[in-house]
Amino acid sequence: MFKKGLLFVMLMTAFAFGVVACGGKNTSEPAPAENGGQAPQEGTTGGDATNTEATSLYNANCMACHATDLSGGGNFPNLQNVGAKYDASQISAIITNGRNGMPAFQGKLSADEINVLSEWLSAKK
């Protein structure tokens, strides 16, 4: 009688522990998202969008003389390393006012567009 009772208590205890163990597993926290909030950081400077805009402005306004790859040719200077020669404000002045065989783009391009082109070219060194 006593032994059966003890066995019963032990079984119930084991069962209770089993339930607690299972409950513990079920309430475990969802795994945190490994890459949550880790978006690529390049967007902070808007680099890609600016590059795309600069390239299309260049293709529409400058490519005819300075070539698709900025290599120039003939009387037209190579712009591939122009950022080593001029800073953005100097390039902006050349684009705005023109120089010798280079036409002025004041009135043809907005100040913003000239700015985008100048920044883009000044990074070419």
**Cβ proximity to ligand HEC, 9 vs 125, nearer residue:** 125
Which member of 92, 105, 115, 116 binds ligand HEC (CB under 6 A)? 105
**Cβ proximity to ligand HEC, 46 vs 73, nearer residue:** 73
- Of the candidates 84, 85, 82, the residue with the CA atom closest to the CA atom of residue 117: 82
Q: How far is the CB of 68 from ligand HEC (least distance, A)?
A: 13
Q: Evaluate the CA torsion angle 78, 81, 86, 90 in order and state its sign.
A: positive
Per the structure block, which two tokens stand in for 9? Answer: 């208590």
Question: Got the DSSP string for 16-36?
Answer: HHHHHHHHHHHTPPPPPPTTT
CA distance 63 to 67: 5
Site for ligand HEC in 36-95 (CB under 6 A): 61-62, 64-66, 75-77, 79, 82, 85, 91, 94-95
CA distance 54 to 45: 14
**Cβ proximity to ligand HEC, 13 vs 90, nearer residue:** 90
Which member of 83, 115, 116, 121 binds ligand HEC (CB under 6 A)? 121
Q: How far is the CB of 52 from ligand HEC (least distance, A)?
A: 16
Q: Do residues 76 and 65 make contact, with C-beta atoms less than 8 angstroms apart?
A: yes
Residues near ligand HEC, by CB under 6 A: 61-62, 64-66, 75-77, 79, 82, 85, 91, 94-95, 99-103, 105, 117, 121
